Amino acid sequence: MNIHTYEKVWLIAALLLIVGFIATITYGSVGLGIAMIDDSEETVEPSELDEDFGEPRVEHVGENEYEAYVIAQTFIFQPDPIEVPANSKVTFYVTSRDVIHSFSVVGTNINTMVIPGEVSTMTAEFDESGEYGIICNEYCGSFHHTMEGQLHVVPEDEFDMTELSVESDDEVELGNETTFNVAVENGMLDDLETTVTFEIGNETTEEEITVSGESTEETTFTVDSTELGEGDHDWTVTVDDYEESGTLTVVEDLEEEEENGGNNDE
Amino acid sequence: MSNAYIDKFPAEAKVVKAAFYSSFLALALGGVFGVIQTLHRTDIYRFIDSADYYTVLTAHGVFMVITFTIFFLVGVFTWAVTTSLDRGVEDIRFTWSWVGLMTIGTVMAGVAILAGFVDSIDISASVLFTFYAPLQAHPLFYLGLVLFVVGTWVAGADWFRSWWAWKKENPDARIPLPTFMVLTTMIMWYIATMGVATSILVFLLPWSLGWIETVNPLLTRTLFWFFGHPVVYFWLMPAYLLWYTMLPKFAGGKLFSDPLARVGFVLFLLLSTPVGIHHQYLDPGIAEGFKFIAMTNTMFLLLPSFLTAFTVVASIEHGARQRGGTGYFSWLKSLPWRDPVFAGMALAGLLFAAAGFSGMVNAGMNINYLVHNSLWVVGHFHLTVGTAVALTFMAVSYWFIPQVTGKELWNRSVALIQVVLWFIGMTFMTNSMHRAGLIGMPRRTAEPQYTGFEFETAVGSVGELNAQIALGGVLLTLSLVLFFANIIGTAFGSRSDNLPDNGYAEALSGSDDAPRVLDNLKLWTAIAVVLVIIAYSLPLMSIVDRGGLFGPDITAFPANLESVRFLAFAVEHLGTAALESAGTLAWNTLPEVIR
Ligand code: HEM
Ligand SMILES: [Cu+2]
Ligand SMILES: [Cu+2]
């Protein structure tokens, strides 16, 4: 077979180019460490994600390291928004409850297919705070175009993973005491030192607490209804930026009230 | 008396004409859907419900890249085999049988898709042309696809039959180049369609009929892409065939090298299939190593395209010099730019070169994070299949339609304007699609306007990008209108004796220069199969091992349709030997469903 000289030159140049491309991509993988989505995660059962995958959530797993467990389903992402601090390294674990979706953070190279039964993982570093849109770019049904979510990278000093919950009675009989059970959950690894502030009527009570990493601290505030007097009393519990509030009603006779109105808001 | 194809092969000319007309009908429908979705997603003009957008998109995808391209292919291939072997088909009834199968298949799939617009009919197939489970279509859709593919298999058998008969009479002759190209392409197709046939017959069809409960979404998706990459070469190969064997002729010269053309096609046969995983770079459940193998194979697949670029340009240059062209570049001026056939094919080639660049980006495994499923990809394949293939087909139709109808082209100036309009329209549309993709705008989305954030452009604005996409789409639609005007004008014309002769380009370096081993189709088939086994056996085993053959417990979307149960009943009744003869089966169920 006779090959024209120009054609030989062209072929060799083409081969060099091809080898060059492969080298570039290999450098991207090995040198820059751009890992591909792969099969490193165990499979999950889409109908039993609660067990296999757990709640959609963000976890603090190491200094400046977080894991986001995201569930895509027609036509939402959970959690929404996903919140992480700036200057952090976040590993996303994403799976689907139903059909194939994608998890694509617009303006970044975080982009993966989300296939039911499989978990996609990828790690990204966020140096600065900012807000990103998350979209699904794989057709997943009639309302595919409405499927979007948010990723909030908040300034480091504004970030926490505190959760506040309060359990209390709605009504109390005049003369009795009632208690407010306050639980402060700290999702971070480090201890959380903070103050719980309880206000009812004109009274303000404060309590310093320390919640160790990844645990919950409970504290109780006891209120004497005689001091409050009959009627409605608004209360609030505050921890840092979190607030819970409600109304306590002090009544003459609890039994009677219930028989008459029966309007317990439970 | 002229020496056109129809004069020599009147019976075959009817088949080729039928194939071309079917393909044009699909192109017309696809074009209507194309402009609807262009105006809809850019929010310039919306008159359909956004939920129906996906039915439109399914129809656009299927009619364009299954029906339009492949019907045209079978026409070109029939012409190529009969012309280059210089013999008619062995049995014209056999030939019509595959035309029939393909037509019925298209009608079935088309009915299933279009019924999605009509709420009162309980049939739909808005699953896009990739039909990823657990999205589920009506069984009619899958059956239609199967019949269509079976039709192409029978067509391939027809061409092999011609070649075997010819070989008996010409035991020592080289396979004529066009036939060689047809046969290697069909071997590639037989291998490639194993993937989609398995996916549909073993999993999706039984699942849509309710015979099996679940499927493994990653498995059916992988089987789809086993077929999905080579199918892009299936679209491209007839265009390559025309660039190698016809374009030099239209340019007034000869093919530069017959042996290298053969090498190119052999490389396509070997490398087209073991690369499909490059469409799954971002899929979980597939190890990085398998993706890497697909990536390297893909890069080497660039080689035959580089080869083609060289040979085609060299052949055109030869043509120009034959026409008196001189100089380094000024020979370009001596080309027959006023000939719509030449101009259209050359412009198609030009945009294909541009597509090469975005293709190289797509092939880059880790760069894929940036562009996967964005509008960039849509820009890319409107340059490849939407222009390199489609524009070549339209341009060459101006030569073919007179050949198979015996009528002169209605209007050459309109034809010239048409191909130039397509070029301009595609330049606008694809350039802005590439740019929109880079800012993260997704493909396959009815309303890429979100409530929670805005796309940020470095240059220009989202509005400007959308305007360009829409402008491109409108120009393309105009171009299509001119195309059909010309085809219809020609079809209603009267017979002419003044037609160019049928034939294809001779080669400067002919087949005598080609090593005989190139014609050893058995050898290449064996190597191709081995490469596919190497590339796919481990990934497939690992996918089945992870997710199970029938996957996890997930329901189909949308949930089972009423008529499915009816059809399942009908199918069970009509053929206990069900899939044994998909052909008759579909024949029988079709009226049931429509009733
Ligand atoms: C009038 C000319 C055309 C126009 C205006 C047009 C427009 C479009 C647009 C806007 C999309 C993107 C929709 C989306 O992802 O949301 C699209 C998708 C597509 N087009 Fe075209 N197109 C045209 C011609 C063609 C041709 C000639 C072909 C192939 C032969 C083609 C093949 C495709 C395919 C395969 C898709 C992807 C479908 C999917 O994602 O499932 N188009 N087209
Ligand atoms: Cu979606
Ligand atoms: Cu591909």
Which residues on neighbouring strands pair with residue A164, listed in sequence order? A184
Higher pLDDT pick, B366 / B274: B274
Probe residue for ligand 1, chosen from B24, B32, B54, B64 as the CB with the greatest number of ligand atoms within 8 Å: B64
E-strand stretches of chain A: 57-62, 65-73, 76-78, 82-85, 88-96, 101-105, 111-114, 120-126, 130-135, 148-154, 162-167, 171-173, 177-186, 192-200, 203-211, 215-224, 231-239, 242-251
Tokens 């309980």 map to which residue? Answer: B122
In one-letter notation, the amino acid at residue B244 is Y
**Ligand 1 neighbour B373 (Cβ under 6 A):** no
Name the pLDDT band for B515 (thresholds 50, 70, 90).
Answer: confident
Distance CA A193, CA A206 (A): 13
Q: Is the pLDDT of residue B585 over 60?
A: no
Residue among A10, A102, A119 minimizing CB distance to B310: A10
Task: Mention every residue, 6+ apart, whose C-beta is less than 8 A from residue B109.
Answer: B62, B66, B125, B140, B141, B144, B145, B148
Q: Which of A112, A118, A121, A147 to mutate to test the interface with B (most CBs of B within 10 A)?
A: A118
pLDDT(B567) > 60:
no
- How does DSSP assign A4-38, residue by residue? -HHHHHHHHHHHHHHHHHHHHHHIIIIIS--PPP-
Helix axes B340-363, B288-300, angle to 10 degrees: 150
d(CA B242, CA B396): 8
Phi-psi map region of B504: left, alpha, beta (phi>0 left; psi -120 to 50 alpha): beta
Across B105-117, average pLDDT: 95
Residue B101 has pLDDT above 70, yes or no: yes
Mean pLDDT value of segment B412-430: 97
User: B284 touching A, CB under 8 A?
Assistant: yes
B6-55 pLDDT per residue, tens: 999 999 999 999 999 999 999 999 999 999 999 999 999 999 999 999 99
pTM, to two decimals: 0.90
Reported confidence tier of residue B143, pLDDT bands at 50, 70, 90: very high
Q: Provide mean pLDDT across the span B334-352.
A: 94
Closest CA to A107 of B355, B382, B357, B450: B450
> In chain B, what are the domain boundaries?
5-519
* DSSP codes, B58-123: HHHHHIIIIIIHHHHHHHHHHHHHHHHHTS--S-HHHHHHHHHHHHHHHHHHHHHHHGGG-TTS--
A111 at interface of B, judged by CB pairs closer than 8 A: yes
CATH superfamily of B5-519: Cytochrome c oxidase-like, subunit I domain (1.20.210.10)
d(CA B224, CA B230): 10
Residue B185 has pLDDT above 60, yes or no: yes
Confidence of residue B459 (pLDDT cuts 50, 70, 90): confident
User: For residue A73, which ligand has an atom nearest its CA?
Assistant: 2
Cis omega (within 30 of 0) for bond into A81:
yes
Closest partner residue to B54 among A38, A104, A142, by Cβ?
A: A142
Distance to chain B for A165, nearest Cα, Å: 29
Residue corresponding to tokens 């089945």:
B544
- The crossing angle, in degrees rounded to 10, of helices B53-62 and B10-41 is 150
Using the mean position of ligand 2's atoms as its centre, give its distance from the Cα of residue A103 in Å: 9
Active-site residue (options: B221, B278, B279, B382): B382
CA-based nearest residue in chain A for residue B131: A139
The model's pLDDT over B206-229, given as tens digits with 9 standing for 90+, comes to 999 999 999 999 999 999 999 999
Please state, in angstroms and rounded to a whole number, the distance separating the CA atoms of residues B526 and B536: 15
Q: Is pLDDT at B564 greater than 70 in this prediction?
A: no
A173 or B568: whose pLDDT is higher?
Answer: A173
Q: State the pLDDT at residue B589.
A: 39
Torsions phi, psi for A248 (to 5 deg) = -110, 130
CB atoms under 10 Å from CB of B527, counted, come to 13
Percent over 90 (pLDDT), chain B: 72
- B450 catalytic per annotation: no
Pick the closest to residue B425 from B478, B350, B484, B357 (CA basis): B478
* Cβ-based neighbours of B152, under 8 Å, separated by 6 or more: B70, B74, B98, B102, B189, B193
Whole-angstrom distance, CA of residue B81 vs CA of residue B186: 12
**Protein residue closest via CA to atom 41 of ligand 1:** B128
Q: Say how many C-beta atoms besides its own lie within 10 A of residue B580's C-beta.
A: 10
**Using a 6 Å cutoff on CB, does residue B245 contact ligand 1?**
no
Instruction: Say whether residue B201 is in contact with chain A using an 8 A CB cutoff.
Output: no
CB-based contact B453:B27 (threshold 8 Å): no
- Nearest 5 degrees, angle CA B86-CA B89-CA B95? 150
The phi and psi torsions of B456 (rounded to 5 degrees) equal -110, 125
Beta strands A231-239 and A192-200: pairing type? antiparallel
Selected residue of A101, A139, A147 to mutate for chain B interface (largest B Cβ count, 10 A): A139
Residues of chain A with pLDDT under 50: 257, 259-266
- Which of B459, B372, B469, B431 has the alpha carbon at shortest distance from A105? B372
pLDDT value of residue A48: 87
What pLDDT score does B572 carry? 53
Q: Are B331 and B321 in contact (CB under 8 A)?
A: yes
Say how many C-beta atoms besides its own lie within 10 A of residue B511's C-beta.
19
The answer for B 112-131 residues in CB contact with A (under 8 A) is 126, 128
Residues B546, A138: C-beta atoms closer than 8 Å: no
pLDDT exceeds cutoff 70 at B288: yes
Per-residue confidence (pLDDT) for residue A262, from 0 to 100:
43
| B187 Cβ closer than 6 Å to some ligand 1 atom | no
Tokens at B88, concatenated = 């008619």
Q: Is A144 within 8 Å of B453 when comparing Cβ atoms? A: no
Q: Which atom of ligand 1 is nearest to the CA of B37?
A: 10
Contacts of B373 by beta carbon, 8 Å cutoff, 6+ apart: A102, A104, A111, A137, A138, B442, B443, B444
The rounded Å distance from CA B472 to ligand 1 centre is 12
**CA quadruple A238, A242, A243, A244: dihedral positive or negative?**
negative
Burial class from Cβ neighbours inside 10 Å (0-12, 13-18, 19+) for residue B545 reads exposed
Q: Give CA–CA dist B54/B116, Å, rounded.
A: 10
| Sequence-distant (≥ 6) Cβ neighbours of residue A7 within 8 angstroms | B256, B257, B260, B310, B311, B314
Q: Would you state the pLDDT for residue A261?
A: 45
Average pLDDT over residues B439-454: 92
Tens of pLDDT, residue by residue over B157-182, are 999 999 999 999 999 899 999 999 99
Q: Determine the average pLDDT of the residues in B499-517.
A: 87
Confidence grade of residue B139 (pLDDT, cut at 50, 70, 90): very high
CA angle A218, A222, A225 (to 5 degrees): 150
Distances (CA, A) of B552 to A99, B210, B549: 12, 16, 9
Q: What are phi and psi of B135, to 5 degrees?
A: -70, 135
Q: For the residues B338-362, what does the mean pLDDT come to? A: 92
What ipTM was assigned to the predicted interfaces of this complex? 0.87
* Residue among B218, B327, B232, B338 nearest B283 (CA): B218
Residues 6+ apart with CB under 8 A from B307: A11, A14, B260, B263, B264, B267
